[in-house]
Each structure stands twice: as structure tokens, then as C-alpha cells.
Structure 1
């Protein structure tokens, strides 16, 4: 038995997040307890998807966030961490230069990971523990720059794909039309082959949709409910979403394309329900760190 404190940094196209989790080992179980969570909406994708690189201004904002995260992790006594950068940093021509700069300034080592490793890390987030053995699910994580889809059948990952389709990319009008065609074609094939019944939704936008629909934790969202909410929010201007609906400015624009992507998955695969367990890449990083430490005998 023991206790560990780990940190997970997720550098996405829309926001940068820090999750600190304490892992407590008991005789009969292991508990993952979230100690802190911070989110900074920097939107690296706005630069990368239109200009091909991270601007100096956003580089400095990112560095400030990383320096802050480093201080917070020390204050919490974090024993180990991983910092993963996804879609925007994968495509930024100055990505390696940015990671070197931030390591020199903050001491944080950032790894720019592939879409496949992103999907594999998400798979490690403990999600399999809540899956029914006799059902097929699609885990769908809609980010700022990409959408990850993992197919689970009989509680086993059978297929996974990463598509360059994300909310910030869509808002920046930087989506390859052929990528959307590939997305829909692949989903249709998956629907016919596996006949999935449920989407497991991941990302801040589907979490917010669940709240707006007054759903309890892990209470299902139906396709018709999500479609109704999508049409309702879309009918408001950005200013109205902020002032009338009280959405945060960083959420008021991206939530619309996010819901559209989830509805696309529903429609292409004939799925009628979405469950939102609030697990993602950061949770997968924590689980991976714990497994590595146990494997090394730490």
C-alpha cells in the first residue's frame, strides 16, 4: 500500500490543462482522487491552423502558464508528471522550438505526441471499468484541433482513429473537406461493422452540454436532446450566448461545432445515446504514470 501524487498537463489546440491527482492504495482497491485542476484558454490552434506556427504572443502566454503549473506541482508535492501536446503542436512548424524554449524557462519537458499515442493514452483512463461486456461503444473526444474515436467491443479496444477535425480548426475555417469525407465514411463503416449503441463523450463542450441539459453525472443524453440544444444555442449570436446564456467567452463559440461533430457521429452510426463520464487525456496520463511506477517497483 502507498500514496502517490502525479501531474498531467494536456496542451491542446483550445486550452492548456493541469490535473493533479493523488493515488491512494488500500487493501481492497486503488482510488484516484483529484487534488487540483486548472485550465488556461490560450487557443494555440488559432495561430497554427491559419499561420502554421505558434505566434510569439501565444508562446509567451503558454510559457507563463507552464511556469505557473511548475510552481503548483511543486506546492502539491507532485512526484512525477507528463506534459503532452496534441494537434496544434503536432502541426506547428515551430513546435520543437517552442518545447525547447519552455523547458529552459519553466523546467517542464513537453512531449509532442502522435494521434495514435493520444488515443492509446485516453484508452488507459480507466474507462473500460464502466463498460458493459455485451455492448459496443464509441469513445469520442472532440478537441480544438482533432477528434479521437475509439471503438470498444466486449470491453476491448478494437479500432481507433484520429481525425484533423476540431472546434478551433473549424472556427478558423482550416478544415480539409476531404478529412470530413473520410470521417463520415469511416464512421459509416464502423456503424455497419460493429453496430455501436452508445457514444462515450469526452471534452469540455460535451460536459457543458450535459450541464445545460440539467443532466446528472453519467446520465445519458439522447440524440434528440443534443440536436435540440445545438439548434437552440446556434440561434443565438456569440454576444447573446455570453450575456443571455451566461456561457464563458472561451466556450460560447466552440460549443457549436463540437455538438455538430457529436451529432455527425450519432447520425453516421445510428446512435441514440451519449454518456458523459468526464474522463479524458489527463486522466489517462495519470493512470499511465501510476502503472509505470508500480511496474518499476517505485
Structure 2
């Protein structure tokens, strides 16, 4: 398959997903922040990022999908631009923005862009953000270099993404939790899968945690150590580790919110402790890098 065909298929897949999600929840952080996996894994990080955004800032999001984070920066008064490969995703973003533009103090612009072939203006942005996109990119050194030169002195590069591969201990811990807790898979199917796959069951969970083969470019960026590239380019880099398995579990658990939220927060605290003492290895990180 050619690169152009992969790019087309990637755009179609995520465009269809953006349309599906927009049918369930508005592409607005005020709505997305209440989704279970955001409450558990992303709400605090996104709110901390948005607290950095000041009126009049020039901001850019790479891989903006349906545009809710780009929009959230504009809602803080920024002049915000969002780039994405999917025209369908951007149409979702534009359609929603058109309905609330009159109440947004900043400005929003959404553009189609192949992030593997970036050419950004020099010293143009106060903040560049990337959420869940770097691990899809094949031209990582150019992307990081372009972001660095596009930031003003003191500008912020904020990343929330996966760095590295899921290790087997994390997969085993996730497998145990997935088997014990009620999830979207019935217990009958779980027992059937255990009989069918036996000792290979954790490997299948590992592949699921890494979203293996979800899209043409899923995991392509794992061939590059994007975190090392950021640390080499930027003077001040702070890295915050996420739990190893709790974010994945939040997508799978099948409990009412009043049970799921305290349970996942308890698991997350244990999960984070096991990461800190080295029993588990996380892949999710949040990075603040200053030029």
C-alpha cells in the first residue's frame, strides 16, 4: 500500500470516528471532560494545560481531530489553529464552532495538514500541543524540529501521548483486572477466551493496549523515541508519568459511573505507586517542554 493510500485510509477512519463521537457528545471540552476515560486519565492534565493559556496567545494543535482542544484554547482567549489529516474530522470541528463562535473570545482556524510533512512559520506560536498523535507519525525528527523552530522563545510544547511499548508485567496486571472486573466483554466470553488462548491471553491484551492494527499508522512513531528527541531539542523538559493500565481499563469497564469512578481512582493510585517503585512500566506520559 502506498503512503498516499495509507494517509487516505487513516483520514477516513478517524473522520468516521469523529462523526460517530459528535453524534454522542459535542466536540467541546465542556462536554468531553465528563467522559469516563477523561475523568480518570485526562481531565486534570487538560485543565492544567488550559490554565497556561492566556488571551491573545497564538496556539497550534497538531492532530486536532474534532477540534475540541483547539476550541478550548480559543475559549480561553487564544488565537488557535488546529491541524489534522482528516477533512471529515475538521468539518465536524468547523460545524460546531460555527454554532458557538459568537461566544468564543478567541479565534479558531482548522486546516488539513499531513503532519509528517510539516512546514511551520518561525517563532510564531506561544503554545503547540499534541494529544495522542505523535505515536502515529513516521517523520518524527522533522516534526519535533519544526515544532521547536515554530515556538517563540519561552514557548510551550505540551504533549500527552504514548512513549515506548507496553511491557508484559503491565499486560499481565491489565489481564487480571480485565478478567475480574465487569467489562464490555461478558464473563462467558472471558472464560472462553482463556480456554482458547491460554498463556497467550496477556499477549492479546498487550496488543489491545497498544491498539495494534487499529489504523494504518497506529504505532508507527514507536520506531522513534520522540521523548528523547524532545529532550534533546528543548532546554526545560518536565515529564509526568501516567498509570500503566488504568487509562486502558477506563475504556473497557462496564459499571455505573458512581461505582466506576471511585473504583478506577483507587486502582489508579495503586497503579501509579507500582509504576513509581518499578513493578509496572507505564507508556503514557504528559510532557511540558519550554523553548
Normalising by structure 2, we get a TM-score of 0.28
Name the one with the larger strand percent.
Answer: 1
